[in-house]
Structure 1
Amino acid sequence: MPQLSPLNWILLFVLFWVAVLTMSVLIWWSNKVFFQGENLTSVPLKENKWNW
């Protein structure tokens, strides 16, 4: 273990958890957008039954 000051250990700890939370939010958001994209592409096909 390198000899770091306690402040550096706290900053590394915070940086690690910020990176973990950011990755989990990005994965959640991309899955949400992916499923919304699937729903949005299938809905207009069902509703496109008007004879314009």
Structure 2
Amino acid sequence: MPQLAPINWLFLFTLFWLTIATVAVIIWWSYKPNYMIKTPAQSPINTPPSNSWPW
């Protein structure tokens, strides 16, 4: 394994934990529950009159 400067070891250490944290956040974000307030379905304002003719 080649010799690395200390600054490169710090960079690799930071990059490794940043990758671990990013993957953890992505996994958490994809499995988090979505809480939504359910609103009742609104009926249209102008409903057409129903046809009472039997044809």
TM-score range, shorter chain: 0.5 to 0.7
Aligned to 1:19: 19
Structure number, greater radius of gyration: 2
Aligned to 1:10: 10
Aligned CA RMSD, in angstroms, stands at 2.2
Number of residue pairs aligned between Structure 1 and Structure 2: 43
Q: Return structure 1 stretches of 4+ with deviation > 4 angstroms.
A: none
Any gaps of 5 or more consecutive residues in structure 1? none
TM-score, normalised to structure 1, is 0.63
CA distance in 1, matches of 2:2, 2:22: 26
Kindly report which structure 2 residues correspond to 1:28-39, keeping only aligned pairs within 5 A, or say none: 28-32=28-32, 35-36=33-34
Identical residues among aligned pairs (%)? 45
Name the one with the larger helix percent. 1
